[in-house]
């Protein structure tokens, strides 16, 4: 058995005179959930298309297990959910999924899958009558057909309501638990922060980060924020602690992981002058700003 479900090695791709993927290395183990982040135009979709064999690249290698992109073996092992899924509007959800299952040579429990993605009542309605979120759910049912080794999801939660987003990540967790490697291209930082194992960031076609959230935070050396609420006088508290008053009641102090406990002791020593304290480690949004080197769009 291959130990990597997906291996991308030194991939370069040019579009005309522009290098849109530059020496990309990225690998996913079975069951790993990896977020692929980057500004508009950073190269996320191009990388996904390269993995799918829908576009060629100048140099480097991509392997799905041991198979080349676009080969019958790679196509059987890979599933893809595009950002804007489109289906035949005249078919019902059940008919469309049955058709996909036949094409894939799968004996699938179509009704069970549609139930799983929250379309039990709509499965016998024409897809033309579905909302965007319902079409996205149907796309997910397609992703769940068979047992893909690699799932590529491009902005999977766009157009979904908050509960549907939770459902989607629960399904992604199930896919990962059955051994599927899941690559999720997304701009939804808060979601992927909580629901992926590793974060890869592209910037202008180059990979600028690829690690767990906590390792990226350590490497970036970004400060931890202590937000303390004053009992009465936030200005006095700011002067005493060297912090910055951020609203009518609270003061913010910055510290490093190494000085966090010392800072907390300093706050505790202030006694009744402080009524509350929140400790906030760097969030993915802060790390994203740091690694992508530009303001978040
Ligand atoms: N069909 C195309 N022809 C020419 N250039 C293209 C084409 N598709 C993408 N590009 C260029 O390739 C670069 C990478 O685009 P890509 O769509 O991969 O970015 P992305 O990270 O997926 O962006 P977004 O977040 O907006 O979806 C951009 O400079 C884009 O203009």
CATH code, 275: 3.30.70
Tell whether 166 and 273 lie within a shared domain.
no
Q: H-helix or E-strand containing 114?
A: helix 110-116
Tell whether 112 and 133 lie within a shared domain.
yes
- The reported pLDDT for the residue numbered 2 is 53
The atom of ligand 1 lying closest to the CA of 49 is 18
* Whether the model pTM is above 0.95: no
Compute the distance from residue 46 Cα to the ligand 1 centre, in Å.
Answer: 6
pLDDT exceeds cutoff 50 at 195: yes
Domain-located, residue 81: yes
Residue closest via CA to ligand 1's atom 15 equals 41
Tell whether 241 and 106 lie within a shared domain.
no
Tell whether 269 and 191 lie within a shared domain.
no
Strand spans (E) along the chain? 6-15, 18-28, 33-37, 59-64, 78-81, 150-154, 181-185, 198-203, 206-211, 224-230, 244-245, 250-255, 274-280
Tell whether 82 and 139 lie within a shared domain.
yes
C-beta separation of 143 from 101 below 8 A: no
Range of the domain at 205: 6-218
pLDDT tens for 100-131 read 888 877 788 999 999 988 898 999 999 999 98
Using CA atoms, how far residue 19 sits from 8, 152, 179, in Å, is 17, 23, 33
- The reported pLDDT for the residue numbered 1 is 47
Is 243 a pocket residue for ligand 1 (Cβ < 6 Å)?
A: no
Tell whether 232 and 262 lie within a shared domain.
yes
Pairing of strands 18-28, 6-15: antiparallel
202, 218, 234 - which closes a domain: 218
The predicted complex's ipTM stands at: 0.94
Tell whether 113 and 187 lie within a shared domain.
yes
């Amino acid at each position: 058995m291959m130990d990597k479900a997906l291996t991308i090695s030194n991939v370069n791709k040019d579009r005309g005179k522009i290098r849109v993927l530059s020496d990309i290395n990225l690998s996913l183990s079975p069951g790993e959930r990896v977020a692929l982040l980057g500004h508009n135009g950073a190269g996320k979709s191009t990388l996904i298309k390269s993995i799918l064999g829908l576009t060629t690249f100048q140099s480097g290698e991509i392997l799905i297990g041991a198979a080349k992109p676009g080969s019958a073996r790679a196509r059987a092992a890979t599933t893809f959910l595009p950002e804007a899924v489109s289906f035949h509007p005249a078919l019902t959800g059940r008919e469309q999924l049955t058709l996909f299952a036949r094409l894939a040579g799968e004996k699938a429990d179509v009704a069970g899958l549609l139930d799983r993605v929250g379309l039990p009542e709509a499965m016998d309605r024409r897809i033309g009558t579905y909302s965007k979120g319902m079409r996205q759910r149907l796309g997910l049912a397609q992703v769940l057909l068979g047992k893909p080794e690699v799932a590529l999801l491009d902005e999977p939660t766009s157009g979904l309501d908050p509960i549907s987003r939770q459902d989607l990540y629960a399904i992604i967790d199930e896919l990962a638990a059955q051994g599927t490697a899941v690559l999720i291209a997304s701009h939804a930082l808060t979601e992927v922060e909580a629901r992926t194992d590793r974060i890869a960031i592209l910037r202008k076609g180059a990979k600028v980060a690829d690690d767990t959230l906590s390792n990226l935070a350590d490497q970036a050396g970004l400060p931890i924020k202590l937000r303390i609420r004053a009992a009465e006088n936030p200005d006095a508290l700011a002067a005493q602690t060297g912090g910055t008053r951020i609203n009518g009641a609270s003061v913010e102090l910055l510290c490093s992981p190494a000085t966090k406990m010392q800072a907390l002791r300093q706050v505790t020593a202030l006694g009744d002058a402080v009524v509350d304290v929140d400790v906030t480690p760097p969030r993915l949004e802060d790390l994203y700003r740091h690694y992508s080197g530009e303001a978040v769009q």
